[in-house]
Amino acid sequence: MIEVRLFATFREGREKIVYFEPTKAACPADVLDELGIPYEEVAICLINGFHSGLRDAIKDKDVLALFPPVGGG
Amino acid sequence: MAEDSRYIRQTMLPQIGEKGQKKLAQSKVAVVGCGGLGAPVLTYLALAGVGNIRMIDDDTVNLTNLNRQFFYTESDIYQEKCKKTADFLQERNTKLTIEPLCERLTDKNVKRLLAGVDVIVDCVDRIETRKHVGRAACGFRIPFVEGGVHGFYGYVLPVLPGESACLECMAMGTIEEKPPIPALGAVAGVIGSLQAVECIKILLGLSHVMYGKMLQYDGLYGEFTEIPVHIRADCDCQKFNKIVNDESHMQ
């Protein structure tokens, strides 16, 4: 399973953590499509703590973390 | 009561002691931004006895600041934040050297504003300024503590240049939030206080600074989440020495 951790406003109306079968999520863009999150709203996309592009491959047991911009001061 | 007693409740900590307190007194910190995050950061650094505090902000006080920026009163509206902040801090600790710089930090003045400090605390509200702060800090090899808030959410990320991931390692900085950004004072207080703690730990040379970890706070869930973050091999943070040392770009 792929573990998807959502942060900040991405959690609103969704779960904090969502799991996907690897067959249903080949890349972060697939996960965003499933969750209804527009690509342009993603400020940070990490796979296992490393920066990732939205079309980079994800595999079984990966942890995907998605963040909207949180830049206020 | 003798002045020596001011810090007694923290010098009794084994991690600080008289030696650590002297270290704090001799330290120099730059805080960029005197807003919602800057208020708790600056307050706790000044009260802890950080001897030299430089603050950078070109903004003036307006009414919408007063839900979270506790340095200012209604009678301060239209006044320069930096000067009001300096007065607030100096009244609470007359022994400190407080240096208010009422100007916007840009790539042109960043060297003059930030070089030579021991730690930088980034409390700005614009991604563009965050980039300037982060790049300069990486170039000067100065540890810095990032913090950001959005409504009930916030994060803290201490960065040791060359050794731990910065925001640009995670490609943050490509999306600018449209102002006004939602802000709750208490959440800014949580995040700013955490930034101050990390800054003090760095100044004291304590271990366990949260380098390589982004701490996310979710006020709605009442939850902290620690996310390990890694340097991106092709991040420009590895190349910034050249940029900040190029005198032709810097004042």
CATH 3.40.50.720 at B3-249, yes or no:
yes
Complex prediction ipTM? 0.94
Identify the CA nearest to B36 among candidates A71, A6, A13.
A71
Q: Cis peptide before B180, with omega less than 30 degrees from 0?
A: yes
Our CA-based measurement puts residue A48 at a distance from the nearest CA of chain B, in whole angstroms, of 8
Q: Where exactly are the structural domains of chain B? A: 3-249
User: Is the pTM above the cut of 0.90?
Assistant: yes
3-state secondary structure of B118: coil
Q: Is residue B248's pLDDT more than 50?
A: no
Q: How many CA atoms lie within 13 A of B53 on its CB side?
A: 37
Q: Where are the alpha helices (DSSP H) in A1-73?
A: 28-35
- Confirm or reject contact between A26 and chain B (CB < 8 A): no
The C-alpha atoms of residue B123 and residue A2 are separated, in whole angstroms, by 34
Sketch out chain A's domains with CATH numbers: 2-67 (3.10.20.30)
B125 inside 8 A of chain A by CB: yes
Which tens digits make up the pLDDT trace of B67-125?
A: 999 999 999 999 999 999 999 999 999 999 999 999 999 999 999 999 999 999 999 99
Closest CA to B155 of A52, A54, A50, A9: A9
Give B48 to chain A, closest Cα distance, Å.
22
